[in-house]
Chains A and B, each alone.
Chain A
Amino acid sequence: MISLILFGLLAVLLLLSVPIAVSLGIASTVALLVSGKVSASYVPQGLVTSIDSFPLMAVPFFILAGDLMGHGGLSKRLVNVGRMFFGRYTGGLAIIAVVTCIFFAAISGSGPATVAAVGSILLPAMAKDGYKPGFSSGLIACSGSLGVIIPPSIPMVIYATSANVSVSKMFMGGVIPGLLIGFALISYAWWQSKRDGQVPASERPSRAEMLAVLNDAKWALIVPVIILGGIYGGVFTPTEAAAVGVIYGFVIGAFVYRELKLADLYKVFAGSALTTASIMLIVGTATIFGRALAIEGVPVQIAKAITSHVDQAWLLLLAINLLLLIVGTFMETIAAIIILTPILLPLVKALGIDAEHFGIVMIVNLAIGMVTPPVGVNLFVASRISGKPLETVVKGAMTPMFVMIAVLLAITFIPALSLALPALFGM
């Protein structure tokens, strides 16, 4: 009965286009009140306690740092570096797009932000060079999801808080999977451009030109060293690293590259605060939703139902992948992590799967969910920036999405891809 209220009401509210956070809040509040097991004041209290967390504060800082660096001219310079290395090959611009997403992902922790930063520069350039709009916008929508796989990553911060694992270890675990997906997307970009008869974007640069480009981009290129190096060197916590990213992005954008004007600065801060608030309300209400599920014993029921059919780790992982891919198509990433982690984690742990490995599998699945309709944030951003209809982007994102799924299977069944690097660093 209570589960019916929870899921039924949620479905109706979502369908009516009530904001996701509010739908989660109302469904769980009504369920809690009907069950009568928790006092009503738990709702406002839960809204505060669920976000009263220092690790979670990495989220606003990483959003702000990424925005500052995108507006401060750092992404433009990363594109130049990509152009220098890959401009001379067939499909140069397409390859540059993926490579720049890889670089920018190491600065930003968000998928849509990566699509916005890279797409706003490269989509116009690719259109001018005669790339098909579906191909270029679909490719950048997919490559943008590297933003949440290559550290830093906002969903990883959320997962680490829900699963009670180390943010640093999650970040380190995402490096190899992220690079693998990156290489797979580069190969796809090259292959497809060759079929479409694209020509190289530019001549091979001279040594002096290369040095000039690298020199100009050096402040952008050392960001990952500062942020990740700082975390792994034990200099600061992930949240502090994110705050350092904010201050660094501000100083470089405003005083070194001088592209960040005071008026922009205010807008960037307001925009980041707005994004943070809408995400944090989802964190708050999804936590309450998870609590309502737990009170009704739903996680236990689901676990029983699954374990009675599935008793092998590989089969369970396959089933979970399928579930997450389906959930990822319609569910918002952060809400999915907060609600599903407490349900699925005990299951996979019982079969001897690492919480960190499972976390990476979940993040990659939900990253793929960012490029699948109906709820695919990266698709929306790519469509808005390219000015092409959503259907064009969706079609273009289809093939690279299957490329990502292929790599996802490798990541699922070879735990070492996610675990070897953290182990190497003694984590």
Chain B
Amino acid sequence: MLKFFDEHFEEVFIVFLMAAMSLLIGTQIFMRYVMQASLSWSEELARYFFIWMTYLGIAYAVRKDAHIRVTMALELLPFRAQIATRILTHIIFAAFAFFVMYQGWFLVEKTLRFGQKSASLGIPMGLIYLAPLTGFGLTGLRLVQAVILDARLLAKGEPA
């Protein structure tokens, strides 16, 4: 159960959001050409799904080690130094994630307080700005996990 959550938690959401985005835009075209009725809200909603998918995906990309990095210099180091450097990069990434969360919190609080709403659906913009806050929060957790995994690897010693 825990393993399933670990491997698939963000995945379920981003797959859903990706599919929903495609269907929304597909429906938008269908309505315009076949039903002769343009939708005013589909594009906006799809855009917000896109933003949420991106920021949840960033946490998932930490789990899958899919963030693009330049490892050329790293590979010159011996194995243990490589892992130690990786742990350092996780901590640096976490510091950035924490900064975005912290500042994001004020931003969400402010936009919700001012009651700023989206143009066609009237969604509170605070909910959109919640995406980087949530995404980087999860990213922080994923980074803690990555540090633990790499620290175990370091404790184990030489590569298999």
Give residues in A with beta carbon < 8 Å to B.
13-22, 25-26, 29, 40-41, 43-45, 47-48, 51-54, 57, 60-61, 64, 235-236, 239-240, 243-244, 246-247, 266, 269-270, 272-278, 280-282, 284, 330, 332, 373-375
Contacts and interface: CB of A to CB of B under 8 A. Distances in A.
Interface in B56-109: 56-58, 60-61, 64, 66-74, 85-86, 88-89, 92-93, 95-96, 99-100, 103-104, 106-107
Contacts of B19: 269
12 contacts: A15-B70, A16-B74, A18-B93, A26-B92, A43-B103, A47-B132, A269-B14, A273-B57, A274-B60, A274-B61, A280-B54, A281-B67
B58 A277 contact: yes
A247 B93 contact: no
A23 B50 CA distance: 23
A278 B66 contact: yes
A289 B70 CA distance: 18
A278 B61 contact: yes
A18 B69 contact: yes
Given A43-B99, A45-B107, A281-B58, A272 B92 contact: no
A273 B49 CA distance: 12
A57 B57 contact: no
A16 B89 contact: yes
Contacts of A243: 21-22, 25-26, 29
A361 to B, nearest CB: 24
Interface in B5-27: 11, 14-15, 17-19, 21-22, 25-26
A16 B90 CA distance: 11
Contact of B132 (A44, A61, A332): A44
Main secondary structure of the interface of A (DSSP, over half): helix
Given A41-B106, A54-B43, A272 B99 contact: no
Contacts of B57: 273-274, 276-278, 280
Nearest to A57: B50
B58 to A, nearest CB: 5
Contacts of B93: 18-19, 22
B147 interface: no
Contacts, number: 167
B70 A282 contact: no
B47 A57 contact: yes
A281 B54 contact: yes
B18 A14 contact: no
B151 interface: no
A418 B16 CA distance: 39
Given A20-B67, A20-B69, 17 more contacts: A16-B73, A18-B69, A18-B92, A19-B67, A22-B92, A22-B93, A40-B103, A44-B133, A48-B128, A48-B131, A52-B47, A54-B43, A61-B21, A64-B18, A246-B26, A280-B57, A332-B68
A281 B61 CA distance: 11
Given A270-B14, A276-B54, A278-B61, A22 B129 contact: no
A295 B30 CA distance: 44
Nearest to A44: B104
Given A44-B100, A61-B22, A247-B22, A277 B92 contact: no
B50 A60 contact: yes
B73 A17 contact: yes
A244 B14 contact: no
Contacts of A29: 96, 99
A199 to B, nearest CB: 39
A375 B69 CA distance: 9
A17 B82 CA distance: 10
Given A60-B18, A277-B61, A281-B58, A20 B25 contact: no
Nearest to A285: B96
Interface in B117-150: 128-129, 131-133
Residue of B96, B99, B131 with highest tally of chain A CB at under 10 A? B96
A247 B89 contact: no
B86 A17 contact: yes
Contacts of A20: 67-70
B154 interface: no
Contact of A51 (B54, B104, B129, B133): B54
Contact of A16 (B54, B58, B92, B104): B92
Given A13-B92, A26-B96, A52 B51 contact: yes
